[in-house]
A = this chain, B = another copy of it.
Amino acid sequence: MHTGEGSSAHDPHRDIPEATVARLPVYLRALTSLAERNIASCSSEELATAAGVNSAKLRKDLSYLGSYGTRGVGYDVDYLSYQIAREIGVTHDWPVIIVGIGNLGQALANFSGFSSRGFRTVALLDAAEPMQGRTVAGIAVRPFADLAEIVTAEQVSIGVISVPAAAAQDVADAMVEAGISSILNFAPAVLNVPDGVDVRKVDLSIELQILAYHESRKAAEAEESVDDGSGEGVSA
């Protein structure tokens, strides 16, 4: 059993809150931008601004990684990047398969952001014959029936679903059966998976709805300031 005594600052077994986990990739992206501008160290305020969070939350999040920065100097950009990447696990190489090679699947296959974060797309699968044998992003599209074989051969643990909603559950079932334990689902469908399998759902309309909320607010405020300007009151 793990007792916690004598554990190093980097203890992979303790729990990090899910909200913090979700922000770590955002910090990593902000640090990468700083490194690209040849910035070697940054204050928590600078990093927080770059990541779009408040600095108290940033410091709290980083404290889970045992990263406290140096007073008067701040955080070392390269070292903190390494700490976060190690914590997330993207210092590994993660073989990924993508099932459903329509427009979205092709966009994902071509997306450079995956490979730069340790994700290696090892196979593209599509159930439709016209797609099979075609090459996307330098990778041949293979029949969906080859799924289990590929997962075993390449030791794939992460699968991406970019098929239509009606096919998504069948694809998820086949992935789980083949041994995949993490699924990134772009299909507008809720998936049922056994315990121990993680599913993250990407809903491209949710961000648009958040923008719509702010647009509504802006429109309401503009109307209100027009009302104020006209001097006309609103009767109770």
Give the interface of A toward B (CB within 8 A): 1-2, 6, 12-13, 21-22, 24-26, 28-29, 33, 87-90, 92, 94, 96, 102-104, 106-108, 110-114, 116-119, 157-158, 160, 181-184, 188, 190, 196, 198, 200, 202-218, 220-221, 224, 228, 236
In whole angstroms, what is the CA distance A227 to B200 when docked? 30
B117 touches A208 (CB 8 A): yes
* Smallest CB separation, A184 vs chain B (Å): 6
A202-B210 Cα distance, complex, nearest whole Å: 12
Candidates B102, B181, B200, B203; contact of A107 at CB < 8 Å = B102
Contact A210 B103 (CB under 8 A): no
Provide the bound-state CA to CA distance between A206 and B200, in Å. 10
CB of B213 within 8 A of CB of A21, answer yes
Are the C-beta atoms of B88 and A204 separated by less than 8 Å? no
Chain B contacts for A28, CB-based, 8 A: 209
Could you say which residues of chain B place their CB within 8 Å of the CB of A183?
Answer: 211
- Please pick, from B26, B92, B102, B207, the residue contacting A200 in the complex, using a CB distance under 8 A: B207
Contacts of A203 in B (CB 8 A): 25-26, 29, 113
Q: From A158, which residue of chain B is reached at the shortest CB distance? A: B211
Establish whether residues A212 and B89, one from each chain, have CB atoms under 8 Å apart when the complex forms. Answer: yes
Least Cβ–Cβ distance between A44 and chain B, in angstroms: 19
Closest-CB distance, A197 to chain B (whole angstroms)? 10
* A183 to B, closest residue via Cβ: B211
Name, among A1, A29, A107, the residue most crowded by chain B CB atoms within 10 Å (CB to CB): A107
Interface centre among A12, A89, A202 (most CB of B within 10 A): A89
Contact of A205 among B21, B117, B196, B204 (CB under 8 A): B117
**With A1-B228, A211-B182, A216-B89 in contact, is A205–B111 under 8 Å at CB?**
yes
| Contact in complex: A21, B196 (CB < 8 Å) | no
Specify which of B22, B88, B108 is in contact with A212 (CB 8 Å cutoff). B88
Contacting residue for A196 out of B181, B218, B228, CB 8 A: B218
